[in-house]
Amino acid sequence: MIRFKKVIVVVLLMILSTISLVEVDASSATTYTTARNRKGFFVITQDAYLPETTVLDLGLDSPEDIFIDELDHIFIADTSNQRVVVYDPSTNTIIEEISYPEFISPKGVFITQDNELYVADSTAEAVFRFDADHNFVAKYTKPDSASFDAKTFNPRRIAVDNQGTMYVIAEGVFDGIIQLSSSGEFQGFFSTNTVNLTTRQQLENLLFTDTQLAQVVDRNPVSFSNVYVDQKGIKYSTSIGLGISNLKKHNTDGSSSIDTDFGFDWGMVDVYTDQYGIMYVAGAAGYINIFTSDGQFIFAFGTDESEQDVSGFYSQLTSIAVDSVGRIWTLDQDNAFLQSYTPTDYSQTIYQALALYKAGKYDEAVVLWEEVLKLNQLSVLAHNEMGRNLFSEGRYAESMEHFILSGNRQLYSQAYWEVRNVNLQRSLPVFIAGFFAFLIGYFVIKGTNRKYHYLDPVKKRIKKVTEIRIINDVLYMFNLLKHPLDSFYYIKKKEKGSYKGATIIFALFFISYMTYVTSKGFIYQSVEAADLDLNGIIIGFFAIAFLFVFANYLVTSINDGEGSLGEIFKGLSYSLLPIMVAMLITTYLSYKLTYTEVIILQLTMYVGYAWSGLLIFLAVQELHNYTIRETIKSFLLTFLFMMIVGLLFAFIQIMGDQLIQFVIGLVKEAFRNVFS
Amino acid sequence: MFLAKKMLLRVFIVFLLFASFITVKAVYDPSNQKTNLQPVSLVYNIVEPTESELLYETANFTYSFRESRDTITIYDKRNDYTWTTGTDLEFSAEIANECEEIVESYEDQFSNVDFSTFTDFTNSTDPLLTDIEFYGTNFMLKALINDVDENFTKDSVLLQTSLVTLTNGTQYQLSFEAYGLSSRNIEVQVGSVYTEEITVTNELAEYTMTFTMSDPTANVTVDFLLGYFAADAISNTTLYFDNIELNEYDGVDVVDGTNQIQGDFELDPLTLETTQEDVLDVCRDREVRLNTTYTGFANSLVTIEYFDSASNIKRISSASRFDAESLLYADEDDESHFILDIDFKDADIEVLLNIYFDDEGIRYEILDEDVTGDGILDLAAIIISPFLGASGGAYESFDITEMDYLDEEHFKYKVPGYSLVPDGSGSLIQFNDNTVDLNEFNASVYGFDPGQADHYLQESAGYVPFKTASMPVFGMAHEDVQAAFVAFATSGDEFMQIISMPEENLTYYNFTYPRFEYNKQYYQVYNKSGAGYLTFYDDRNHYDIEMRYNFLSGDGTTGYSGDYVGMAHSYRDYLVSQDLLQMTTNGYNDIPIRLDFLMSDVEKGITGFNNQVTTTSSQVDQILSMIMDNGITNINSGLLGWNDGGITLGDPRDTDFIRQIGKQSEFEELIRTYQSKGVDISFNQDYYRILEEMMTLRNNASKNTSTWYSRLETFDYPVSMFYFARPVKSIEWLQDQANTFDSMGVASYSISGITNNLTSDYSTDMLRDESRDVLVAGFDNLNKDVLINAYQPNMYLWEYTDRYLQTPVYGTQYLIETDTVPFIQLVLQNTMELYGPYANFSFYTDSDILRMIDYNIYPSFVLTHEPAYLLTDTLSRTYYSTEYNLYFDLINHVYENVNGALNNVVNANWINRSFIDDGIVLNEYDNNVMIIINYTDESYMYSGVSVEPVSYAVIGG
């Protein structure tokens, strides 16, 4: 399973392209189905569901919850009418009204496998249980166990597992989901949400006195909004609040087996599952989000527009359920209506294909995913799943293409490892043979040349070229590797190297740096080149380099440093060879190595950095004629100076903007006063 | 001008009773998605007694006017149906006032009757107490007790009977009924024989006490002591007494006929001047949920909306109770022409409404110069006959025993029917009795105007954009194919909104009306950080309003049928008569198909933007020839993103052909080759939306009324801020590009953006009506030999359109909308080729194919040579499935099916569309072809022909 990285930027829930030249909304959908693309943005995809019926005329009043039984009858907690309504969509009629004298505000309904009906009534402070014929069986009130220390018991949602254990969401209880035995005894909190403190709150905890802490707002954990038990007895829950996984599929110990943390609040209010284990989640704002049974986001549809009365729009979406043919039923509390959606081929095919993968029928799944890709060639989910199926089938090379399109670097790396392995096995003997052939050839030529000197004209030619001043200046950087101190001494004495040479080296470094930043292999190029802020990178690159030279010059010139501005630049440039080479090697290797060999790339870069760093250090020492101690001091001062300059620029930018705004405002105001 | 009454020496006609008794089966598409019908059989009486004076009569209609309420009554002789332009209701407030008055005078008869009337009783009070009163009221004796405090005693206030004679040793029972406004103690004394203190509560109750006479004196009085009792008890209140009796008592029951006190305070009914009947006469049933303003609105012929001093919108109607006066004049020279002169006094606005009658209906005209007055800058809008055809209403009745109106609401008979609104392809809003308050349908004709928007910056909505109203039409039908009208603006449509209010939204009526906007609040921003203030336009919008109402009747055997089909045909014929539309004849037998090619779009590159090319000119050739080899030959094609910059950044000012996509010569070759094969290839261009990344805004982008460039933020990438070209520029660019295209030998232009958007441009104070003129003139100037393919064109461009692209097939789907109907298709069928939305995107299933056949539209696809995932980083990522080799089979499948039905009716007129059963549509054409479309999953038999599930059958021809 791939996990999307948390999107750090403010993710707009729906990224839309409603302006495209020709609209592509040909269906009866009123909202877009959106999926995430390989960069984590939400993009429009083929419609997954189409709004079907809006049932407006059931005479409901602030209904809060729905549940669908095995006959596809919809049980509606008609809260303000103090009843539970059973609605049959096939005949569009209410077939039963369940009222019980003690109902005050029935808010949650649940039907068990045995067709028993449970009703959570917050004002009556009880859970009511009815048999399959809807005769009253039992009433469960506030547990008298000492460990249940909540003052009140106002159940608003309920789910019951096959053993009759009840899971209750109660108003004002922040400790978690209340677990009651089938006889109504308190068994503890099934699951709890932890309090996630913001940085500010953590700081407050650190600094505030107890009195002060008592005054700040309660730090209750994010509250559970709903609970659900599927046919197999697996418990699910939803929560509303920021910063946590708001959809949970619970292990038996109450912990969550999935992670759907997107870094923002979906406002989830209800969850339901179907035969495939697909999770359907209603968001209070009016979105319906659908996840695989592993908690992987598939797609969402809906809108947060609540002012318009258009089918597919909600005033207040409060509950969701799915019937046996995959239709989604939703409930709006404010406008008291049921809205159904009929699935399209697109969504149905996706669900089936997901199920086939789980069942290990990879070849069949591949066929279905091909269908999905036909309908939506941009589907990241489909490409990713296609890749996984192909991978499982051992079709690694094919799967790699799909992993590129879905942006799944992890699995791409694994697939590539397999492919490379095969290639290596095939080509290793050839490679080794070639290597030895080269060695032999080298020594033969070397040996014979000593005797016959047939390479002399070539050597002479090379020597001639290297003696050209500018080329010689550039190539001088190789000397630095062997005799750094001497070489810098000659640079200082202007016997070797030159400004031109240094500039060319610096330019070469820039090119290799840009290559390294933008052109690594798919696995290692985590941000695509086009998405990089190149202006920032380029400006930053030059700014830091020149600031270093400048700062170092200023710092050393008042500390008896002998080097001039130009010499420092030269020293810096001539020290860059190791890092330059490291970057190029890394860039090259990033195409050949998988994640498992990441250490090689890191090592290369470390060596490059360390070596170049050392050279720069020596350059400064030699150019200014410093001792090691003085050199270290000068470096520290240089960095301090650089930081100060950086801060200064930031200030100027912020204040300057305001100053300009102020002047513009002043002028405009004057104009208005004079001319109007 | 003369007074109507003077001028018209015509017979006063009293339409006494038009009683038509009609049985109709209401059949149409009840669900916007399901296309099946709800068979309801409805029976109703229309009884319409109205008193009005006849204005004008034609072969089909008589038109009369009710001065007091400003309503015109239209009596349709063809079906005996009467329409009134308003609800013709009394003001509830007026009824309430009159009723209140008479109830008061009725009740006054019982109140404050002098105490001396009750001969058996006297009272005595302490002389220091001046504010004690006794009198009869409403069948009871009323004692008003004031100023009693601890300075007084129990007997300071005394109610006393005259002497009664009791027999010593006999048992008696004293009884009376009493209550107080607050509970209070009193004491009852019978001579010196019997004393009891009791508490009179604030609920009427009977008090009884028995005693045995023990005083030989025989003559005693019965005294009620009402004075001071205790410090902590209430003394001052009002007490009521009734039925005071003193009877002999036999230990079990009172002895009949032994009562000695006339303690029944009832007055003699014969003396009443106002009787209960009088009250009931005056206290008539009165409308609920319609206050005075709203009743005036409901009755009115013209209502204005204006801004009050707090900038809130208020309404005054011509039939207003106090705030307006109106007078009807007749035109001396034209007897079918009348003028209603309305003075909206409260708003200081005067309006002249010209009314023209003819044999099809009514035409209203409000000329710009006839909208005057000192308050003119506050005028927000003018509304014409909002309640014409309104259905519903409820009233409350007066209850004589309660002497008040009961809160119970009685619902009037709700005439079944629907409103037609031009939402997308057309939507019906059936008159439903809703249980919840749903929002109204409100559409600006020709869509949203960024130039007059309330803010220069708009943000794209997170949902499928609402469909726009591309024509200024609406209609209402009472019953199906019975009585209907279609209304359309023939001037002022650029500023028109069509509003349809559902039942339960404020009122109990369904009604639909046009609103013409004159002024609006907008946000004037004055600095970059967005600070600003709300203000109004410097000047109101200037334009003439012209509205036509055509009344339709019957099932279409004679004239236009009384349903949306008739409305469409009536409107179509009007457009044809005005040369705004031309009927066409096509020279082909097989239907055409539209195949667009998406050639390129831009994505963000390392520097600037890169063209992501998905189809080159030679690949278009390759794909087209494959499709033609497959047997589809009647093709026309549009090329999207043919320019450098692709769909998003392709500059409309330029024809920048690039090698990557195709050189100009290659395109020329492509066009020429395919023209010889009968395939038309054209270049698609949006001349409306522009970006800063494309051109400088200065001089090119239109401005909002706040003088900032109008813009739309989409939060998208790689570009997200869109501006809108000035109409003059759009036309200039269109002309320039058209010249180049002409030189390349194109047979058609494919135009989008300006076809379905109309913006005002405040860089030159150009309002929408002028923008429209600019666009129309621009289209008129184009080479007439070249066809025009227009993307969802607005009505004013239909004249020039040969192919209508992306014809809407759904409405916005407001919850109040009950049916989607092919209204636009009915209007435009046979005047141009109509193509459906791209079948690639959720419009490819079998029922979608049926919808194409049902709606008489031709299929269209958009194709690329390369896989669509190349477009991931472009705005065209919404074209998520386009690769041609995925679509060969589907194109054939869709084309064969649609062509199989529609090639039978290529040049035939579509004369009727009806639902003959659940999900079964019958389309009839004037070449005797009938197409039966079965949306259900069961086969259907129709006159011996079996129609397979989710399939169609063609009969006749």
Mean pLDDT along residues B725-746? 96
When CB atoms are compared, the residue of A26, A31, A43 closest to B841 is A26
Mean pLDDT along residues B889-911? 95
Q: How confident is the model at residue A262 (pLDDT cuts 50, 70, 90)?
A: low
Mean pLDDT along residues B850-855? 94
**CB-CB neighbors (< 8 A) of A344 in chain B:** 842
Chain A stretch 404-443, residues whose beta carbon is closer than 8 A to a beta carbon of chain B:
405
On whether any CB of chain B is under 8 Å from the CB of A307, the answer is yes
On whether any CB of chain A is under 8 Å from the CB of B435, the answer is yes
pLDDT of residue A479: 84
Mean pLDDT of chain A: 87
pLDDT in tens, B336-351: 999 999 999 999 999 9
Identify the weakest region by mean pLDDT among A438-442, A557-561, B106-110, B626-630: B106-110
pLDDT of residue B270: 54
CB contact under 8 A, B463 and A303: yes
pLDDT in tens, B687-707: 999 999 999 999 999 999 999
Q: How confident is the model at residue B271 (pLDDT cuts 50, 70, 90)?
A: low
Quick check: B24 pLDDT over 50?
A: no
Measure in Å the smallest separation between the Cα of B478 and chain A Cα atoms. 22
Mean pLDDT along residues A136-151? 86
Contact A278, A299 (CB under 8 A): no
CB contact under 8 A, A664 and B868: no
pLDDT of residue B230: 83
When CB atoms are compared, the residue of A23, A405, A534 closest to B806 is A23
- For residue B434, which phi and psi values (nearest 5 degrees)? -80, 155
Quick check: B15 pLDDT over 70?
A: no
pLDDT of residue A141: 92
Mean pLDDT along residues A45-49? 89
Nearest to A332, CA basis, from B436, B565, B853, B676: B436
Contact A505, A477 (CB under 8 A): yes
Which residues have C-beta within 8 Å of that of residue B818, sequence separation ≥ 6? Answer: B29, B30, B31, B32, B418, B428, B429, B430, B432
Mean pLDDT along residues B449-478? 92
Quick check: B9 pLDDT over 70?
A: no
On whether any CB of chain A is under 8 Å from the CB of B464, the answer is yes
Quick check: A174 pLDDT over 60?
A: yes
Quick check: B952 pLDDT over 50?
A: yes
Quick check: B925 pLDDT over 90?
A: yes
pLDDT of residue A218: 62
Mean pLDDT along residues B251-266? 83
Contact B893, B615 (CB under 8 A): no
**In B526-679, at which residue ranges do the beta strands (DSSP E only) sit?**
532-536, 545-553, 593-598, 600-604, 609-613, 635-640
Chain centroid, CA B444 distance in Å: 12
pLDDT in tens, A191-204: 888 776 777 777 77
CA distances from A660 to A92, A666, B861 (A): 66, 10, 52
Q: How confident is the model at residue B138 (pLDDT cuts 50, 70, 90)?
A: low
On whether any CB of chain B is under 8 Å from the CB of A12, the answer is yes
Q: How confident is the model at residue B268 (pLDDT cuts 50, 70, 90)?
A: low
Nearest to B414, CA basis, from B390, B381, B440, B446: B390
CB contact under 8 A, B878 and A44: yes
Mean pLDDT along residues B506-512? 93
When CB atoms are compared, the residue of B753, B867, B878 closest to A24 is B878
On whether any CB of chain A is under 8 Å from the CB of B843, the answer is yes
CA atoms of B183 and B102, how far apart (whole Å): 32
The torsion of the CA quartet B111, B112, B118, B121, rounded to 10 degrees, works out to: 120
pLDDT in tens, A472-486: 888 888 888 888 888
Kindly state the greatest CA–CA separation across chain B: 138
pLDDT of residue A2: 34
Quick one: what percent of chain B has pLDDT higher than 70?
A: 94
On whether any CB of chain A is under 8 Å from the CB of B734, the answer is no
Mean pLDDT along residues B882-911? 94
pLDDT of residue B265: 78
**CB-CB neighbors (< 8 A) of A47 in chain B:** 842
pLDDT of residue B49: 45
Q: How confident is the model at residue A179 (pLDDT cuts 50, 70, 90)?
A: very high
On whether any CB of chain B is under 8 Å from the CB of A28, the answer is yes
**CB-CB neighbors (< 8 A) of A30 in chain B:** 463-464, 812-813
Contact B502, B434 (CB under 8 A): yes
pLDDT of residue A3: 35
pLDDT in tens, B278-303: 899 999 999 998 889 999 999 999 99
Beta bridge partners of B545: B366
Taking CA–CA distances from B432, the nearest residue in chain A reads A57
On whether any CB of chain A is under 8 Å from the CB of B815, the answer is yes
Which residues have C-beta within 8 Å of that of residue B18, sequence separation ≥ 6? Answer: B46, B47, B48, B75, B80, B81, B82
Identify the weakest region by mean pLDDT among A217-226, B3-12, B81-90, B182-191: B3-12
Taking CA–CA distances from B606, the nearest residue in chain A reads A530
pLDDT of residue B699: 94
Quick check: A505 pLDDT over 50?
A: yes
Quick check: B950 pLDDT over 70?
A: yes
CA distances from B61 to A660, B76, B385, B474 (A): 71, 5, 18, 21
Q: How confident is the model at residue B10 (pLDDT cuts 50, 70, 90)?
A: very low
pLDDT of residue B33: 43
On whether any CB of chain B is under 8 Å from the CB of A535, the answer is no
pLDDT in tens, A618-676: 989 988 889 999 999 999 999 999 999 989 988 888 787 778 878 888 888 888 787 76
Mean pLDDT along residues B641-666? 93
Q: Write the single-letter amino acid at B506.
A: L
Q: How confident is the model at residue B14 (pLDDT cuts 50, 70, 90)?
A: very low
Measure in Å the smallest separation between the Cα of B720 and chain A Cα atoms. 9
Contact B52, B15 (CB under 8 A): yes
Helices (H) then strands (E): counts for chain B: 13, 67
CB contact under 8 A, B606 and A17: no
Q: How confident is the model at residue A399 (pLDDT cuts 50, 70, 90)?
A: very high
Beta bridge partners of B81: B76
Quick check: B818 pLDDT over 90?
A: no
Contact B324, B331 (CB under 8 A): no
Q: How confident is the model at residue A217 (pLDDT cuts 50, 70, 90)?
A: low
Quick check: A609 pLDDT over 90?
A: yes
**In B360-495, at which residue ranges do the beta strands (DSSP E only) sit?**
361-366, 371-372, 379-384, 391-392, 394-396, 398-399, 404-405, 410-411, 417-421, 427-430, 441-444, 457-459, 473-478, 483-491
Chain A stretch 355-414, residues whose beta carbon is closer than 8 A to a beta carbon of chain B:
374-379, 383, 405
pLDDT in tens, B428-443: 998 888 888 889 999 9
Q: How confident is the model at residue B383 (pLDDT cuts 50, 70, 90)?
A: very high
Q: Which candidate in B437, B713, B849, B869 is best for mutational testing of the A interface (most A CBs within 10 A)?
A: B869
On whether any CB of chain B is under 8 Å from the CB of A657, the answer is no
Q: Write the single-letter amino acid at B395.
A: Y
pLDDT of residue B117: 72
When CB atoms are compared, the residue of A56, A59, A378 closest to B868 is A378
pLDDT of residue B26: 28
CA atoms of B621 and B724, how far apart (whole Å): 34
pLDDT of residue B276: 84
Quick check: A11 pLDDT over 60?
A: no
Mean pLDDT of chain B: 88
Size of interface A-B (CB pairs under 8 A): 207
Measure in Å the smallest separation between the Cα of A117 and chain B Cα atoms. 28
Quick check: A10 pLDDT over 70?
A: no
The torsion of the CA quartet A433, A436, A441, A442, rounded to 10 degrees, works out to: 140
Q: Side-chain half-sphere of A227: how many Cα atoms within 13 Å?
A: 33
pLDDT in tens, B591-623: 999 999 999 999 988 778 999 999 999 999 999
Q: How confident is the model at residue B11 (pLDDT cuts 50, 70, 90)?
A: very low
On whether any CB of chain A is under 8 Å from the CB of B448, the answer is no
Using the CB atoms, write b or e for B384-413: b if 16+ within 10 Å.
Answer: bbbbbbbbbbbbbebeeeeeebeeeeeeee
Name the DSSP letter for residue A133. T
CA atoms of B237 and B411, how far apart (whole Å): 43
On whether any CB of chain A is under 8 Å from the CB of B533, the answer is no
Residue with tokens 């505030």: A208
ipTM of this complex prediction, to 2 decimal places: 0.81
Retrieve residue B567's tokens. 């409305």
